[in-house]
A and B are shown apart, each in its own frame.
Chain A
Amino acid sequence: MRKRDFVKLAGLGIANRILPAPLYGFWQRAMEKQSPGRRVILVTFGGGVRYSETFAPEGLANIRRLAALREEGYFFRACRNEGVLSHFNSTASIVTGDWQRVDDFGFEPPASPTLFELYRKAMKAGPLDAWVIATNKSFASMGASSHRDYGPTSGANVVLPKQLLLDAVKDVARKPPDAGLARREEVLRGLENILHEGYEGVGWTIFKGGRELNRHVRETLTGALAEFINGPDAPTSGDELTFFIAREVMREFAPRLMLVNFWDMDVAHWGSYSLYLQAITRTDRLTGMLWDEIQSNKHYKDNTTLLVLPELGRDGDTDTSNGFLNHRSGDPSCRHTWLLALGAGVKGETERPIRHIDVAPTVAALLGMRAPAMSGTAAPELLR
């Protein structure tokens, strides 16, 4: 199985779960005829990244693609996160336009309607028109709110690519030890099965389903998966898997609204500055590749706005213990981020401060929606 087959399988597996086969065919034909309305893709540098490692002069070496793309787009130098400095609440604030104060670890959905629900309801959009692809596996409830007028039936499809992989292994590990599981083909068949089944059931560890197996089979399975993951074609990080799934969703379903949450840079919590820098560089590269896909995909070229921003910063080096490892101090380094808009039809940059909650009303305006009142305000710079 090639990498492309793998991710294609992931996307199609999800579609089949969402729609019965006849409806899916209908939807595909409808997509071909749809009007060339504007599309928006939101990319978050999840996990948080400091200005100093990105758009500050000393950080530009870590984000060569975005630094170059800045000339083509509109850059907000001061985008502030004034909300709760946890991952879930930060991203939930971005997609709702209201500061969210729900459970930090994603055990509650956002309290205000998400862009995805608003968009689908306002535009009578289909179930495959709004997606969340997230490396952070606590984002399972990012696609829809607990608001009484909305909810999962009008929300986004949420794909947690790393979880796909975990569940794949779990499924393979459940099979009896005499089923030839040591063979790579069997592992991949297991992957296919689980991808068709869906991706829900967030777990914590990889062997949750395999504990009854004898040790030899379990180790053989792990080795087979490692071989697959580490093969010349396979992704090597959660964010790479997220990118490939996101690209496949774009190619197969061409949604008008999509959130892509990269998250590898949260490795900063481990205390390794070099791994943190590598993750930033990788996210920069993958974001650039996403922009390349927009430019080469007929559904997206010339009608797509790509908004890129960190969900939060990280602690500064001087005011707190262990600066970059954490992101809860509330110091300026935690709250000061940036936003780059590509494909909005405008170029330039501004010092005018904007906030994370200004993103959702901006997206709503770009998509031509009449959105309900949000705490944030649309950025006029992107709506000329």
Chain B
Amino acid sequence: MSQSTPPRADFGHVPVTFSSYLAEQLRAWDTLFPAERAYLERLSAYLEKAPAAMFDPLQEIERKMGVAGKWPRGRFTLEQVDFLNRNPHYPEWRAEIARLFSRIDPVLDADLAAKGRPRLVVIISPAELPVGPDRMWTRLAKQGRRVALNAPDNLDHYLPLLLTGNADPAKGRCLPSFAANRPSYATWVIETGELIGALCPTPGAVRLSYELLRGFRQRLMQEVQRITEDKTIKGPRQLSERLKTLKLHPSEAGLAGDALLGEFVRATLLAGNGTLLINNTFVEWASVQALRRARPDVLIVGFGIRNKMKPFSSMLIFHDQDRATAIPTQADMLGSYVDLEVLYQYIWQEAARRVEYRNNTAYLFTAIGMDEMHLIAPPDFPLAQPASGGRSSLAAVHEAAGKWLAG
């Protein structure tokens, strides 16, 4: 259980660039998820006992970089980021930081690895993708295996069967409910639309929908537009600082009561990576951030079809694309397919590199209406071994996933 107050960061034997990083993380203590707090507590405890000699190479690099006298202890501001980025020894510094973490993290992870519990990631693609199963999940082909499915004739039954085990969701049991006894922020549903959240309104689950965030997204775009027209903003970094002050209103997503999630949504939408503009980018980046920060036990991801970009849309980056030009909005099925093939990989990789997910996570890659799914799972997951009897029903997939979570 993490403490309510942040641990120490001011260790005299730890080089200033490293300890400042920790201090900056701790400064945001109130907006950190329990998993993040627990990690920083373990890191702080480790650093307290770490031998000073471990940091000699970093001390030497800091000396070459000219850090002394230019770096306020305990701060890691935009000026420091600039200083590092532009320093000729930056690649060396970055490599040494990576080396240090490659030494520290296995120690911090050892305890977690011993306490692993079954986890589930379900990634659902839209029915409109213009390809068959042979062209799906190609970048993950070397991991896991295909599972042949009996897809229902009625497309509307696909999701209820997968997520609740019954074509009538009222008679089924939602997958997240199998993990109902897990800690807070253990279950996340992240989707472009509203279907999954509506099918599985699980109490305690975090629900993020690009569509439901429309009001907040539009307000953010208007605010960004207004701020960028204000000549007091010098450039992107200053803009980023200003944008941190834009908070989610209670009426805008149903999340505002939870300050932690409100900040998560704001940061995700303003990450500068197209999350405001492209539904699938939002879903992918929110999923990656949830995995990185909250480490959920159950993550259900629902992708959609993105719209075609309109000519010169990059000029109108902070305008509502539906209204910025007179050209009708059109769905881009093929483009969405190409995008998703990469995004599946990025989500899987993000989880796979975290100790919490190693050897105990089942990943179900499905597409609505498709009679195959891709499964990456430990050998003891019920469907992990090829079945002798041919195709599995979606209800059987649901049952296997439920049993897996129930342990």
Residues of A within 8 A of B311 (CB): 226, 229-230, 236-237
Q: Smallest distance from the beta carbon of B221 to chain A beta carbons, Å?
A: 11
Residues of B within 8 A of A275 (CB): 309, 335
In the complex, residue of chain B having the shortest beta-carbon distance to the beta carbon of A270: B274
Interface membership of B325, Cβ < 8 A: yes
Also in contact, A104 and B85, with CB within 8 A (given A271-B339, A274-B334): yes
Q: Which of B319, B337, B338 has the most CB of A within 10 A?
A: B338
Is A105 a contact partner of B236 (Cβ separation < 8 A)? yes
Interface membership of A296, Cβ < 8 A: no
Residues of B within 8 A of A322 (CB): 273, 284-285, 288, 346
Give the residues from 323 to 356 in chain B that come closer than 8 angstroms, CB to CB, to chain A. Answer: 324-327, 332, 334-339, 341-343, 345-346, 349-350
Contact with B along A197-211 (1 / 0, CB 8 A): 000000011101001
Give the residues from 261 to 281 in chain A that come closer than 8 angstroms, CB to CB, to chain B. Answer: 264, 267, 269-275, 277
Interface membership of A222, Cβ < 8 A: yes
Which segment, of A143-151, A173-181, A323-331, faces chain B?
A323-331
Also in contact, A205 and B280, with CB within 8 A (given A226-B327, A321-B288, A321-B346): no
- Determine the main DSSP class of B at the interface with A: helix
In the complex, residue of chain A having the shortest beta-carbon distance to the beta carbon of B318: A205
Interface membership of A133, Cβ < 8 A: no
Is B318 a contact partner of A324 (Cβ separation < 8 A)? no
Other-chain residue from A89, A227, A325 in contact with B273 (beta carbon distance below 8 A): A325
Interface membership of A317, Cβ < 8 A: yes
Other-chain residue from B229, B306, B349 in contact with A205 (beta carbon distance below 8 A): B229
Measured between alpha carbons, how far is A82 from B272 in the docked complex, in Å?
25
Measured between alpha carbons, how far is A99 from B87 in the docked complex, in Å?
11
Other-chain residue from A104, A206, A230, A273 in contact with B342 (beta carbon distance below 8 A): A273
Interface membership of A336, Cβ < 8 A: no
A-B contact count (CB 8 A): 128
Interface size, chain A (Cβ < 8 Å)? 48
Also in contact, A323 and B346, with CB within 8 A (given A238-B312, A271-B339): yes
Measured between alpha carbons, how far is A205 from B312 in the docked complex, in Å?
12
Residues of B within 8 A of A223 (CB): 325-326
Q: Which of B236, B309, B341 has the most CB of A within 10 A?
A: B309
In the complex, residue of chain A having the shortest beta-carbon distance to the beta carbon of B334: A274
Is A271 a contact partner of B281 (Cβ separation < 8 A)? yes
Residues of B within 8 A of A89 (CB): 86
Is B228 a contact partner of A204 (Cβ separation < 8 A)? yes
- Report the 9 A-B pairs with minimum CB-CB distance, sorted nearest first: A270-B274, A271-B281, A274-B338, A274-B335, A101-B86, A204-B228, A236-B311, A271-B274, A273-B342
9 chain-A/chain-B pairs, Cβ below 8 angstroms: A104-B85, A206-B315, A211-B229, A222-B326, A229-B312, A236-B312, A271-B280, A272-B306, A275-B335
| Chain B residues at the A interface, C-beta cutoff of 8 Å | 82, 85-88, 90-91, 94, 225, 228-229, 234-237, 272-275, 277-278, 280-281, 284-285, 288, 292, 306, 309, 311-312, 314-316, 318-319, 324-327, 332, 334-339, 341-343, 345-346, 349-350
| Chain A residues at the B interface, C-beta cutoff of 8 Å | 82, 84, 86, 89, 99, 101-105, 107, 162, 165-166, 204-206, 208, 211, 222-223, 226-227, 229-230, 236-238, 264, 267, 269-275, 277, 317-318, 321-326, 328, 330
